[in-house]
Structures are given as structure tokens and as C-alpha cells.
Structure 1
Amino acid sequence: MWKMLIRVALVSVLSLSMAVPAFAQGTVARAQFTSDVIDREPIDDIGPSVQVEYGGIQRVYFFSDLRDMAGSHVIHRWKLDGEEQADVDFDIGGDRWRVWSSKRLMPGFDGKWSVEVVQDDVVIDTYSFDYVDEN
């Protein structure tokens, strides 16, 4: 009898410990780099590579459609070649929440850019593009 109760308790504890992260972590339903966001939607997808415009400044937006993160704190962490450049913070107010951030990229900022989506201090996804100087 005791062995059966211990087994049931152990299985319950293991099931609960495996289920907690699924509830705690939401998902990124959509994400993309774009040249602008209008009416809470990206207007285009800039793709995996952006070319440096000679003497110009290129603003790149990162759009993310977040699900099941209500009450969470989310960060878009912008990095250049692995070095942190900026954190943009969001407090998520609903089960579906669309947020975006942007970075002004100038000549000389070429390299591998990435944005980490960080939920409550845990990186849940990473997206990247190359900023290419072909001059």
C-alpha cells in the first residue's frame, strides 16, 4: 500500500515539474525584421540581409507577436556580433500582445545583428540578420 502511494506521489510531482515550464513560458507566434510598423503590423520583411546605404542611416524594426505571456516582462535585446547594444522593455498586458522595437543602423555598424526575445530573464527565441557594407 505504501509503495503504491509513494509511486502516485512521485508521478504527480514529476508531472507537475514538467508542466510548470510550459505554463510559465509563452511563445513567439510571429517575428520579423521590417522597415516600419503601421497599425501594429509590419509593412514588409527585410529578409536575412540589409545593405548599408552610403552616408545614410537605416532604421530597422523588430516586430514580435507574443502569445500566452500576460503579466510577463519581455525584452527585445539587440546585439551586434554578440555584443549587447540595447534592451527595449515591455510589460505584456494580454494573452496576445504585439510589440516592436527599432535600431538606427549607420555605416560602420555592419555585422551580424540579432534580437533576443527575453521573457522574465529567460531567452526564449533569437532572430538575426546581416548588415552588409559592400562599399
Structure 2
Amino acid sequence: MRVRLSGLLSLFASVSIVVASGHTVRAGEIKITEMAVTTKIVKGNPIDSVSRISSSSVKALFCFTRLTKDLEEDASVKHVWYKNNQFAAEYDLPVKGKRWRTYSRKLIGKGASGDWRVEVLDEEGNLLKSINFRIN
């Protein structure tokens, strides 16, 4: 019994080391440095930040995200749009540099009124940041 227990402890220590080192060897941790829902992107930047807007005043909204990551390897993020806590759209967006900016575009049509949220997720599905806004 004693040999088995020490063997299990040794195995547990090995697994713990692998898990710990696996966390540090990831494709690079992504950090969101700026996020905005905007009515327009000009020269790669948002022109405003929407917290409340009329559906009759826009045909589309954009979710702009500026981010950094630790390593040069390509990665991706997802923009997941929700209306009244119900899934509305999902966009996979590439991240090809240590400093990167990207955006998704959501068409706004009739029936768009409600409370909206956009979540940014990493490749593993971890929430990096979210933003809330309202469409009247």
C-alpha cells in the first residue's frame, strides 16, 4: 500500500508539473486593451462608442477590439453577439500579431430593439471581455 501511495504521489506531481508548464507554454495570452461598439470604423479605428442607439439611425454596428498577445504565433478570438441574453451571431476573427485590432459587423434590422451584449472569447472559450449596449 505504501508503494502504491508514493507512486500515486509521484504521478500526481508529474501531472501537476505538466499542467503548470502547459499553462505557460500556451499560444500566448491575449489581453483586450480597448473594446467598443461603434457605428463606423475609419482608418482601422472606431469613430464613437455606443451605449444606447436607435435602430432607425443605423443599418449596422461594429464591435471593435484592440488586443495584445504574448507570442507571435497566429491565434483567434470570437465575437459573440447576444440580444436579450439570446445568441444572435458569432464571428471567428484572426489575431496575427502581438498588437492587433479587429472587428465584427452586425446588421441591424427591424426587431433589433433590446439589450445587447458582445463577448470576446479566446480559442479555449474563456471570456476576455464583454460590452453591453441598448438598441431602442
**TM-score bracket for this pair, using the shorter chain length:** 0.7 to 0.9
Q: State the number of aligned residues.
A: 121
Corresponding residue for residue 105 of structure 1: 108
Instruction: Tell me how far apart the structure 2 counterparts of residues 37 and 57 of structure 1 sit (CA, whole Å).
Output: 13
Q: Tell me, yes or no, if the aligned pair for 2:79 and 2:104 is still in contact at 8 Å.
A: yes
Instruction: Tell me how far apart the structure 2 counterparts of residues 126 and 66 of structure 1 sit (CA, whole Å).
Output: 13
Instruction: Tell me how far apart the structure 2 counterparts of residues 86 and 76 of structure 1 sit (CA, whole Å).
Output: 8
Aligned Cα root-mean-square deviation (Å): 2.8
Q: Which amino acid aligns with 2:34?
A: R
Moved over 2 A (4+): 19-25
Corresponding residue for residue 5 of structure 1: none
Corresponding residue for residue 65 of structure 1: 66
- SS of the residue corresponding to residue 108 of structure 1 reads coil
Corresponding residue for residue 87 of structure 1: 90
- SS of the residue corresponding to residue 127 of structure 1 reads strand
1:26 to 27, 30, 37: 30
- Using structure 1 for the length normalisation, give the TM-score: 0.74
Q: 1:30 to 1:22 in 2, by over 3 A?
A: farther
Instruction: Tell me how far apart the structure 1 counterparts of residues 42 and 58 of structure 2 sit (CA, whole Å).
Output: 20
Q: 1:103 to 1:38 in 2, by over 3 A?
A: same
Q: 1:43 to 1:57 in 2, by over 3 A?
A: closer
Q: Tell me, yes or no, if the aligned pair for 1:57 and 1:107 is still in contact at 8 Å.
A: no
In percent, how many aligned pairs have the same letter?
23
User: What's the offset of the Cα at 1:127?
Assistant: 0.8
User: What's the offset of the Cα at 1:119?
Assistant: 0.7
Deviations 1:87-127 (A, max 9, x none): 11112110111001111112311111111101112221111
Unaligned residue ranges in structure 2 (runs of 5+): 1-12
User: What's the offset of the Cα at 1:84?
Assistant: 1.2
Corresponding residue for residue 77 of structure 1: 80
Corresponding residue for residue 117 of structure 2: 114
- Using structure 2 for the length normalisation, give the TM-score: 0.74
Instruction: Tell me how far apart the structure 1 counterparts of residues 31 and 65 of structure 2 sit (CA, whole Å).
Output: 10
Unaligned residue ranges in structure 1 (runs of 5+): 1-8
